[in-house]
Amino acid sequence: MSAQAAVAVAPLLDDEVLLTEEATQWRLVWRRFRRHRLGVAGISVIGAIALACALAPWIAPYTFDKPDTSNIMANPSGAHWLGTDELGRDVLSRLLYAGRVSLSVSLVATTLSIMIGIAVGSVAGYYGGVADTVLMRFTDIMLSLPSLPLLLIFSKALRDFGPVRQALGDNTSVVIIIAVLTIFGWMNVARLVYGSVLSLKAREFTEASRALGASSARIILTHLVPNSAAPIIVAATLGIGSRIIAEASLSFLGLGIVPPNPSWGSMLSGVQAYMFRNPWLAFYPGLTILVVVLAINFAGDALRDALDPRLKN
Amino acid sequence: MRTFLIRRLVQNILLLLIISVIVYGILYLVPGGPFDQLNFGAVSAAAAAAQVKRLNELLGLDKPLHERYLSWLGRALTGDWGMSWTVAFGQPVSRLIESRLGNTLLLMGLSAVFSFLIAMPIGILSAVRPYSVWDYVITGFSFFGLSMPTFWFGVMMLIVFSVTLGWFPAGGAITPGKANDLGDRVRHLVLPVLVLSLVQVAGQSRFIRSSMLETLKQDFVRTARAKGVPWFRVVMTHALRNAILPVITLLGLEVPQLFGGAIITETIFTWPGMGRLFFEGISKNDWPLVQAITMMSAFLVVAGNLLADLCYAAVDPRIRYE
């Protein structure tokens, strides 16, 4: 009986079975992520919009800055699917070009914020002592600042500062907004990494690594940071959404991306002057922001569950 | 408790000092002064420049940065924030702020109360029946609220309810000549308060939901149920009192968000408050005004946090600040 069973089991040990046994961490994450319909929908929407924006020079029906004075604030038509703006520029084309700016600004600002956050949090958590006190107090101070007033002040001051303007030329507004969003955006990640490193550095594998002679830098970079990846990835995803809104708010107030370069926010700045004549002008850019940020938030939420089911609230 | 209070006070004073240095220092990068836009009539450019120089000397604006900072700080401590440069040339900043402070506090206060009153019941409802239709509707709503650019929501409300439907006025705080008409004031308040509350409601209801979910899992809730206390009372008295504790801290931390929202909302609805004054100051390089409002908002933030800590200790006897 038992000999028969052994014979029956043996053929099962083929490649297929082994493959499932060896499913990687990321494959498991992906499997859990797929179960979230809203998360998958979110990722698809972001992917489609990002792709369309990236391809804007090839697929946009017009350029973003070509005025058509005979066709100002036209209603949607076959020639202009979403109509034209106050200078006769095609709204759809501008939305696509604006997406390039809005998406890349928030992507770069988020990446930089996360790098700073990881550096500050891991050094403070790993070394403790003075490094901990100084860095984390500084983080607390930054967290308790009134952020929007300071974002506005920094944007304005840096923009009017001659040397910055000379050094950056046409890119001034883009670089400044990335800079201010980074300066005021790294603290949450720093706290996340700090907490995670504090608990990880007491674990056995860290001790084992140290016993084997690994340097502090190596322990931080190969053990502590990768093991904190789950909350960092979730924070990064959600952070892109909040930075899109922050960039749009600053640009709306005229202190972010400046015309003629369009961003989704700058397309809305000054729109109040036209809202009586053509309210739709104000509608599309904001709707785009809402859809993109909503998609990012759904994706981030699904990612949180997929990466670490325990994080679910 | 006293040592805690003293330590927090010292920390907060340090924080305010740091902010003042940052705000004073960064504005030094910006060229221009209070007299750049003055019109000197027919005099030559060189003569006008000499006049500006003389006026700057008169005000002490030619002194080195640290001296100017210290004298500014000294006067600020006595409530003298200097005079406005461009928004209302020559007027004391403190008087400008005074005339706007009430409107902003009214807007922020109403939004805080309003959003809390809405977030509370819907957060509790989601937590009591998790993963029900209601929970999904409320969760969906809060996702929308958190993904909505506030300024765009404001512009949309303006277009729908005042431009198209004409139900509410398009801006301002009162209709001229109707200063004492309460109904008129309320109509002006509806849209700004709605816009300022939306994001708050979305965030708060999520927070209350998770706090309540956590509390409902605890042993004392099961004990209360086992003793035969009705479910409604268990939720409303036993669980709620515990679930509300972390929410108090959240309210304190939301003051800066509320002020940031006020800048945007007041600008959209031309609400005569501090937020719009701040934005005007930024746009027109009126630095004394900007510095004063930033310091006041920082003070508001610090006071909010401290108040939240104190409330926390007052409602939760387990908290002992050492």
User: A77 or B38: whose pLDDT is higher?
Assistant: A77
Q: Which residues contact A119 (CB under 8 A, 6 or more apart)?
A: none
- Closest partner CB to B278 (pick from A149, A268, A272): A149
Domains and CATH numbers, chain A: 36-311 (1.10.3720.10)
Whether residue A1 has pLDDT greater than 70? no
What's the average model confidence in pLDDT over A135-140?
Answer: 88
pLDDT for the residue numbered A156: 85
Q: What is the DSSP letter of B86?
A: S
Cβ atoms of A235 and A187 closer than 8 Å: no
CA-nearest residue of chain A to B269? Answer: A272
- Length of chain A counted residue by residue: 313
Distance, in angstroms, between A286 CA and closest chain B CA?
6
Per-residue pLDDT tens digits of chain B, which is 322 residues long: 778 788 888 888 888 888 888 888 887 777 666 666 666 666 677 777 777 777 777 766 777 778 888 888 888 888 888 888 878 877 888 888 888 888 899 999 999 999 999 999 999 989 888 888 988 899 889 889 989 999 999 988 988 888 888 888 877 777 776 677 777 888 888 899 999 998 889 988 988 988 888 888 888 888 988 898 888 888 888 888 888 888 887 777 788 888 888 999 999 888 888 999 999 998 888 888 998 999 988 888 888 888 887 887 777 777 666 5
- Closest partner CB to B152 (pick from A158, A276, A286): A286
pLDDT for the residue numbered B111: 93
Distance, in angstroms, between B231 CA and closest chain A CA?
22
Q: Which residues contact B36 (CB under 8 A, 6 or more apart)?
A: B52
pLDDT for the residue numbered A5: 47
A152 at B interface, C-beta within 8 A:
yes
pLDDT for the residue numbered A313: 45
What's the average model confidence in pLDDT over A270-280?
Answer: 75
pLDDT for the residue numbered B41: 63
Q: Which residues contact A56 (CB under 8 A, 6 or more apart)?
A: A93, A96, A97, A99, A100
Chain A hits for B297, CB-CB cut-off 8 Å, are 146, 149
Distance CA A296, CA A78 (A): 31
Which of these ranges, A16-30, A32-46, A154-168, A236-250, has the smallest mean pLDDT?
A16-30
For chain A, what is the mean pLDDT? 82
Query: Which of B65, B98, B74 is closest to B17 using CA atoms?
Result: B74
pLDDT for the residue numbered A21: 53
pLDDT for the residue numbered A91: 78
Q: What is the DSSP letter of B92?
A: B
- Closest partner CB to B19 (pick from A145, A162, A272): A145
What's the average model confidence in pLDDT over A104-125?
Answer: 94
Question: A286 and B29 in contact by Cβ < 8 A?
Answer: no
Query: Which of B150, B148, B156, B149 is closest to A281 using CA atoms?
Result: B156
Cβ atoms of A248 and A102 closer than 8 Å: yes
CB pairs under 8 A between A and B: 133
Distance CA B250, CA B243 (A): 12
Cβ atoms of B204 and B252 closer than 8 Å: no
Query: Which of B161, B159, B215 is closest to B188 using CA atoms?
Result: B161
User: Which residues are B83's β-sheet partners?
Assistant: B92
Cα-based torsion angle of the residue sequence A167, A171, A174, A176 in order, rounded to the nearest 10 degrees? 10
A73 at B interface, C-beta within 8 A:
no
A144 at B interface, C-beta within 8 A:
yes
Q: What is the DSSP letter of A75?
A: P
CA-nearest residue of chain A to B12? Answer: A141
ipTM over 0.95: no
Question: A248 and B151 in contact by Cβ < 8 A?
Answer: yes
Whether residue A181 has pLDDT greater than 90? yes
A273 at B interface, C-beta within 8 A:
no
Distance, in angstroms, between B29 CA and closest chain A CA?
5
What's the average model confidence in pLDDT over A180-201?
Answer: 91
pLDDT for the residue numbered B35: 66
Query: Which pair of tokens denotes residue A64?
Result: 């973003």
Distance CA A121, CA B276 (A): 36
CA-nearest residue of chain B to A286? Answer: B152
pLDDT for the residue numbered B99: 87
Whether residue A77 has pLDDT greater than 50? yes
A158 at B interface, C-beta within 8 A:
yes
Q: Spelled out in words, what is the top-level CATH class assigned to the domain B94-315?
A: mainly alpha
Q: How many CA atoms lie within 13 A of B29 on its CB side?
A: 17
Chain B hits for A152, CB-CB cut-off 8 Å, are 263, 278-279, 282
The predicted model scores a pTM of 0.86
pLDDT for the residue numbered A287: 92
CATH 1.10.3720.10-classified regions of chain B? 94-315
> Distances from the Cα of A230 to the Cαs of A155, A190, A310, B44, in angstroms?
32, 14, 11, 66
Q: What is the DSSP string of A171-187?
A: GHHHHHHHHHHHHTTSH
Question: A249 and B149 in contact by Cβ < 8 A?
Answer: yes
Question: B213 and A313 in contact by Cβ < 8 A?
Answer: yes
- Closest partner CB to A153 (pick from B32, B259, B290): B290
User: Which residues are A84's β-sheet partners?
Assistant: A90
Query: Which pair of tokens denotes residue B194?
Result: 């709605």
* Cα-to-chain-centroid distance, residue A305: 18
Distance CA B312, CA B246 (A): 8
What's the average model confidence in pLDDT over A40-63?
Answer: 86
Residue linked to tokens 């005007």? B280
A156 at B interface, C-beta within 8 A:
yes
A242-263 residue pLDDT tens: 999 999 999 998 888 887 678 8
Distance CA B31, CA B165 (A): 45
- Closest partner CB to A294 (pick from B144, B268, B278): B144
Cβ atoms of A311 and B210 closer than 8 Å: no
pLDDT for the residue numbered A2: 47
Question: B210 and A272 in contact by Cβ < 8 A?
Answer: no
